[in-house]
Amino acid sequence: MVNTRTDKLFNKYYRVFVIPLVFILYVFISYIINPFSRYWEYVSHLSVSKTLFELFISLIVSWMIAEVSLAVARWMDKWLSWDTQPLKRSIIQTVLVLIAVFLLLNVLDYTLFLILPPPPPELAATFDKTDEWQFFVVCSLVSILITAVHTGNYFLKRWKTSMLEAAQLQLDAAHLKETAMQAQLQSLKLQLDPHFLFNNFSTLSALIEEEPKLAMSFLEKLSRVYRYMIANLNSDVISLSQELNFIDAYAFLIDIRHGENVNISISVSAANRNKGIPPITLQLLIENAIKHNIASTQQPLYITIYDEGDTLIVKNNIQLIPHTLPSTGLGLKNIRKRYELLFDEAVDIDNHDGEFKVRLPLVDF
């Protein structure tokens, strides 16, 4: 909108700026080509009124040269684009401009001959054919320069347009990427492990019959866990402190389900508790460890959550269940994908020396 308004204003008022510039250019080139021309001596002896009249005629010539040159260039814009055949366009446009200037000068000369009185003998004797050709060459050079400026302005507009289009495409691509990322994050957050649902509802069902009071506490903690999950569906990052508070409620469910067979310990510095982490990350890692490892009185499962620098480490001892359990593969893939989308960070997984470690970068937010 701004560019269009600017173009309209330029098209409306360009004569106010262009014609004086063309006139100055015309005089300058005339002088540079032949500073010793007899014309300059002739002009220097004219009266003020005759000098102003000469300047007026020169201004009219400059205006007509500018109009004809720009008209040829605009007509060529419609007929032959610079984008398709630039060399052909350049040659044809130059030839047409020279022809147009030649015709213009002849028409102008004939018109002035009819309108103005015959020049005095001393003026006629001042000029020869060389001066006439010099006049034509100067007018042709000025006309070619005008069309060159017009062409440069055309390419400048095309460059600005292409840059704006490229910037708009990049902006659209960024918006699409952000939209896709948000949709994918929502999908990842909703991918709760079905084992988590099945195991907790099975435990609740058993407690209702055997220990109703404990079942009420279990249900309260379970509802707290789900409130946390639902509350953070629209959050990409939360504080580690919030996540650890959630894990406290979740650890109660684990303790009811497994007793002392699963031991969860947490040791995180106060400074790191204020840093960020994707929600439900620790729950997925704990559930993943329980799902794939033996947790019994003889072989307790130890899960430790601690920090090292700006990294949170979730570690468990490896004692894999002998038979293969059906796995959706959502846990670790979910965490890795969220870190990749949100922070462009990698989650490091170490599986050596009987320990399974997952290193989670902590972020400032």
Maximum average pLDDT range among 90-94, 167-171, 233-237, 266-270: 266-270
Residue 275 has what pLDDT? Answer: 96
Amino acid at 213: K
Q: What is the pLDDT of residue 306?
A: 97
What percent of the chain has pLDDT above 70? Answer: 75
* Higher pLDDT pick, 171 / 304: 304
Tell me the pLDDT tens digit for each residue of 72-91.
878 887 777 777 777 888 88
Q: Sorting pLDDT into bands at 50, 70 and 90, what band is 1?
A: very low
Banded pLDDT at 185 (limits 50, 70, 90) = low
Annotated domain spans of the chain: 2-182, 195-361
Q: How confident is the model at residue 184 (pLDDT cuts 50, 70, 90)?
A: low
Cα separation, 135 vs 102, in Å, equals 11
How do residues 266-295 score in pLDDT, each as one tens digit?
A: 999 999 999 999 888 898 899 889 888 999
Q: What is the pLDDT of residue 73?
A: 79
Helix (H, G, I), strand (E, B) or coil at 110: helix
pLDDT reported for residue 340: 85
Q: What whole-number distance in Å separates Cα of residue 360 and Cα of residue 342?
A: 13
Is residue 237 pLDDT above 60, yes or no? yes
Where does the pLDDT of residue 311 fall: very low under 50, low under 70, confident under 90, or very high at 90 and above?
Answer: very high
CATH architecture of 195-361: 2-Layer Sandwich (3.30)
Structure confidence at residue 192 (pLDDT): 54
Enumerate long-range contacts of 12-20, CB under 8 Å, 24 or more apart. 15/63, 15/66, 18/66, 18/146, 19/59, 19/62, 19/63, 19/66
Task: Give the CA count within 13 Å in the CB-facing half-sphere of 228.
Answer: 24
Beta bridge partners of 316: 303, 356
Q: Which residues make beta-bridge pairs with 239?
A: 276
Lowest mean pLDDT among 20-29, 313-322, 347-356: 20-29
Residue 138 · residue 26 · CB < 8 Å: yes
Which helix or strand (DSSP H or E) is residue 97 part of?
helix 86-115
Q: Are 301 and 319 in contact (CB under 8 A)?
A: yes
Question: pLDDT tens across 124-164, in order?
Answer: 555 555 666 666 677 777 777 777 776 777 777 777 878 88
Q: Read off the pLDDT of each residue in 343-354 and give the average, rounded to a whole number.
A: 91
What are the CA-CA distances from residue 54 to residues 124, 186, 268, 283 (Å)?
Answer: 15, 79, 92, 92
How many Cα atoms within 13 Å fall on the side-chain side of residue 224?
Answer: 17
User: Residue 111 — very low, low, confident or very high, per pLDDT cuts 50/70/90?
Assistant: confident
Q: CA-CA distances (angstroms) from residue 182 to 172, 175, 286, 338?
A: 15, 10, 25, 10
CB contact at 8 A, 21 and 10: no
pLDDT band of 119, cuts 50, 70, 90: low
- Tell me the per-residue pLDDT of 31-69, one tens digit each, with 9 for 90 and over: 777 776 666 666 666 677 777 777 777 777 777 877 787
Q: How confident is the model at residue 322 (pLDDT cuts 50, 70, 90)?
A: confident
pTM over 0.85, yes/no? no
| CB contact set of 76 (below 8 Å; sequence gap of 6+) | 89, 92, 93, 96
